[in-house]
Structure 1
Amino acid sequence: MNIGVGLPTSTSGISGQLLVDWAKRADAGPFSSLGVVDRVAYQNYEPFTALAAAAAVTHRVRLATMVVIAPLRNTAILAKQAASVHALSDGRVTLGLAVGARGEDYAVSGVDSRGRGRRFGEQLEAIRDIWEGGTIGPTPATPGPQLLVGGSSGEALARMARYSDGYMHGGGPARAFAGAAAKAAAAWSDLGRPGRPILWGMGYFALGDGNADAGAEYLRHYYAFTGPFAEKIAAGNLTSPGAITDFIRGYEDAGCDELVLFPTASSIDQVARRPTRLTRSSWWSVIHPTPRSVGVSSSLKRRLVRFGMPTTKPTPRSARASLAGTRSTSITATPWSGPAATSLPGSRARFCSTSCSGAAGRSEFGWSLSARCATSRSSRAPT
């Protein structure tokens, strides 16, 4: 499973420069994707604009909408926006779409919310034809942006299975994701599509002293339309490295392919790679939950620190799991951010610069890492 991080496009006090710096830090690792949310009647950045800015300063992470409210947009313009960011980012866009749940977004947009499901189905049917037609916007690299669909109703899952590459869940505990993923897989199978849908999930976090309360208040405000349920959403905010690690493990056990954690606090230190006084932990240690120290020379350790690599290796059990081809969060969530194929000086390990699930080969510390690359996964064209 890969681990992504959200851009804080809807939290308070976010400047354009902070978003750019956030994207740069995420691209430096260990995250595999950057996600954005979509609202109209809210003080947030427009999602495609934010992703275009991120595309200009990143080279590796996928850029995902989680999700864009499709019926609020003209279909041709929506397809052109997605294709444009896909071209600007050299083919790194994951386009998550859904109908949305907030009536005020439809009201301020002057769009009737009645019949939105039917209109959404028509949009999904047309959008790939627009990409392939070559007359509206830049023609995306085949097969175009990865297309995922969100929603929880039977109709939403049927649309997902018919038109998209997979399912994008709206958040919650791992058990909620597992139930939705099972329904998505059933809809996929019922339509006779081979394999299974790509599965994306999301969660919320706020690390550091004083950020838990601010993060909970943000979630109450953002989900105020749900009434008392907003309090339950706020209670699910992850506020410690241990809570994040448990959340990651739960989603991995449920079969998630990409888990994107959205910040509920605006500090840039929320994406710090190394331990800071604010986070009290490193994202490396959160995503690598079971390391143990190994004896390495001081000069080699300095090279590891210089290149942002951890100086620990997985436990033998994790290594055996990797050799057996099973999933391991401590392995698959750390794509490298260097050039196309970067060799660490003094090491035999090589790392992929795209949205990769790990390193190809074996380092001199005995890390046994999967060579399976997410970019080699064949696209599931709609049937």
Structure 2
Amino acid sequence: MKIGIGLPNQVRDVRPEILPAYAAKAEEAGFSTLATVGRIAYPGVMDTVALAAAAGATKSIGLISTIMLATVWPPTLLAKEVAGIDGVSGGRLTLGVGIGIREDDFVVDGVGPRGRGNRMDHDLEVYREVWTGKNVGGDENPGVPAGTREVPMLFGGMAPASFARMAKWGQGYIAGSVPAAMVAPTFEASRAAWQEAGREGSPRLVAIAYFALGDADRGRANVHNYYEVSGEFADLVSANVGGTPEAVRTLVAQFEEIGADEFILNPTTDDLDDVARLADIVL
């Protein structure tokens, strides 16, 4: 099982200037992937910006959004942004997407929370058109440079439609930030949807959790604040933060046992030293 690390882009009041250094340290430490968390109505850094900063500050580490709220974006604009980030990185980006649940994240006029599932199905078609060089805006020009690739996608969510989209469009599935016992059924549903769609091989299965090794209490408080709009879910996620070496090792073992191909630990503070602390435990 590969081990990745998140960028602290959605830690409340993160210091944006540390993101390139955080990315460089993660690559030097040997993590498989750098990840972002996406939300609009929160005092963090947009995931597209964080991924672009990481792309410029690194050379080989994978990049992934876990997850990007795709439906809050006009699809052509998001497809162009994502293609640019992938191009700058040299083809290291995997786009993890979901439909979003918080109404306050839908801030663009005409792109609201109603009908977001149907809109996602439409938007996926638009992404492919943009990435394959179709003309945009009624002009005779494509929106991306020649040689742009179709960015690989992973899907989050727990509704049957989420697994169907994953099997049709994606390379695999990203689970939510919940304990491994709750993730296991979603991995099984992903495998089943993959087989039902006639896809070869198996879907890529990615799990995520939170950690805080320098100041675990502050990390748990930050996570709880981030999710408090979700009610009791905030208690569940904050209680599952890996705050000691033993707790982190237990999380790794639990997700490896349920068959995760990659496990990404997202930070809950913007403490740069947590990169080395985590690497000493899991790498």
TM-score, normalization: structure 1? 0.69
CA distance in 2, matches of 1:137, 1:252: 38
> Please, which runs of 5 or more residues in structure 1 have no aligned partner?
273-278, 289-383
The answer to whether the Cα contact below 8 Å between 1:125 and 1:163 also exists between their aligned partners in 2 is: no
CA distance in 2, matches of 1:200, 1:229: 20
Look up the SS of the partner of 1:109 in the other structure.
coil
How far off its partner does 1:229 sit? 2.5
Q: For residues 246 and 139 of structure 1, do their structure 2 counterparts lie closer, same or farther at Cα, with a shift above 3 Å needed?
A: farther
How far off its partner does 1:60 sit? 1.2
2:164 paired with 1:158: yes
Q: For residues 170 and 243 of structure 1, do their structure 2 counterparts lie closer, same or farther at Cα, with a shift above 3 Å needed?
A: same
How far off its partner does 1:145 sit? 2.0
State the AA in 1 paired with 2:197. Answer: L
How far off its partner does 1:126 sit? 2.8
Q: For residues 248 and 101 of structure 1, do their structure 2 counterparts lie closer, same or farther at Cα, with a shift above 3 Å needed?
A: same
How far off its partner does 1:240 sit? 0.8
Instruction: Show the counterpart of 1:326.
Output: none
State which structure, 1 or 2, has the greater radius of gyration over its C-alpha atoms: 1
The answer to whether the Cα contact below 8 Å between 1:64 and 1:93 also exists between their aligned partners in 2 is: yes
Identify which of 143, 155, 168 aligns with 2:174: 168
Instruction: Show the counterpart of 1:82.
Output: 82
Counterpart mapping for 1:164-243 below 5 A: 164-208=170-214, 211-243=215-247
The answer to whether the Cα contact below 8 Å between 1:91 and 1:141 also exists between their aligned partners in 2 is: no
State the AA in 1 paired with 2:282. Answer: I
2:249 paired with 1:245: yes
State the AA in 2 paired with 1:7. Answer: L
CA distance in 2, matches of 1:245, 1:229: 23
Structure number with the higher helix fraction is: 2
Look up the SS of the partner of 1:64 in the other structure.
strand
State the AA in 2 paired with 1:236. Answer: N
| Superimposed CA distance per residue, residues 87-127 of structure 1 (whole angstroms, 9 cap, x where no aligned partner) | 10000001011101111112x33332111000001112331
Runs of 4+ in 1 over 2 A off after TM superposition: 12-17, 108-112, 138-142
The answer to whether the Cα contact below 8 Å between 1:207 and 1:240 also exists between their aligned partners in 2 is: yes
CA distance in 2, matches of 1:123, 1:151: 17
2:58 paired with 1:52: no
| Superimposed CA distance per residue, residues 253-283 of structure 1 (whole angstroms, 9 cap, x where no aligned partner) | 21111211111122110102xxxxxx5xx62
CA distance in 2, matches of 1:78, 1:263: 25
Instruction: Show the counterpart of 1:136.
Output: 143
The answer to whether the Cα contact below 8 Å between 1:80 and 1:138 also exists between their aligned partners in 2 is: no
CA distance in 2, matches of 1:229, 1:14: 23
The answer to whether the Cα contact below 8 Å between 2:13 and 2:43 also exists between their aligned partners in 1 is: no
State the AA in 2 paired with 1:138. Answer: P
> Please, which runs of 5 or more residues in structure 2 have no aligned partner?
135-141
Q: For residues 264 and 89 of structure 1, do their structure 2 counterparts lie closer, same or farther at Cα, with a shift above 3 Å needed?
A: same
How far off its partner does 1:140 sit? 5.0
The answer to whether the Cα contact below 8 Å between 2:154 and 2:171 also exists between their aligned partners in 1 is: yes
Instruction: Show the counterpart of 1:62.
Output: 62
Instruction: Show the counterpart of 2:279.
Output: 283
Instruction: Show the counterpart of 1:256.
Output: 260
Counterpart mapping for 1:268-307 below 5 A: 268-272=272-276, 279=277, 283-284=279-280, 286-288=281-283
Counterpart mapping for 1:319-334 below 5 A: none
TM-score, normalization: structure 2? 0.92
How far off its partner does 1:13 sit? 4.3
CA distance in 2, matches of 1:235, 1:156: 26
How far off its partner does 1:56 sit? 0.9
Structure 1, 31-40 or 4-13: larger mean CA deviation: 4-13
How far off its partner does 1:234 sit? 0.9
- Aligned residues between the structures: 275
How far off its partner does 1:245 sit? 1.1
Instruction: Show the counterpart of 1:302.
Output: none
| Superimposed CA distance per residue, residues 316-354 of structure 1 (whole angstroms, 9 cap, x where no aligned partner) | xxxxxxxxxxxxxxxxxxxxxxxxxxxxxxxxxxxxxxx
CA distance in 2, matches of 1:12, 1:192: 43
State the AA in 2 paired with 1:137. Answer: V
How far off its partner does 1:139 sit? 4.1
